[in-house]
Amino acid sequence: MGIYLEKKIEAGLSTLEEKYPLKTLNKKYTIGVPCEKDENETRVGLIPEAVSSFVKNGYRVVVERNAGKWAKISNLEYSEAGAEICDDTKEVFQADILFKVQPPTLTEIEWMKNNAILFSIIHICIQTVEYFKALIQKKITGFCYELIKDECGHFPFLKAMSQITGKMATLIASEYLCHPKYGKGSILGVVAGSPASKVVIIGAGTVARHAAHSFLCMGCEVKIFDNSIHRLNRIQDLLHAPVSTSILLPPKLAKAIQEADVVVTALYSKTSISPCIIAENVVKQMKTGSVIIDISIDQGGCVETSVPTTQKNPVFVKHGITHYCVPNIPARVPYTASCALSNLLIPILEEFCASGELNNLLHMQYGLRNGVYLYQGTLTNSIIGNHFQINYQDINLLFDTRLG
The β-bridge partners of 322 are 291, 317
Give me the numbers of helices (H) and strands (E) for the chain, helices first please: 15, 15
Displacement of CA 380 from its chain's centroid (Å): 19
- Among the options 38, 123, 179, 363, which is catalytic? 123
- How far apart CA 369 and CA 393 sit, in angstroms, is 13
- Indicate the DSSP class of residue 6: -
Q: Report the distance separating Cα 223 and Cα 246, nearest Å.
A: 8
Catalytic residue among 226, 261, 298, 323: 298
184 burial level (CB within 10 Å; 0-12, 13-18, 19+): middle
394 is catalytic: no
Count CB-CB contacts under 10 A for residue 233.
Answer: 12
394: Cβ–Cβ under 8 A, 6 or more apart, which residues?
A: 380, 382
Tell me the three state secondary structure of residue 256.
Answer: helix
Distances (CA, A) of 127 to 33, 137, 300: 22, 16, 12
Catalytic annotation on 123? yes
Active site residues: 123, 298
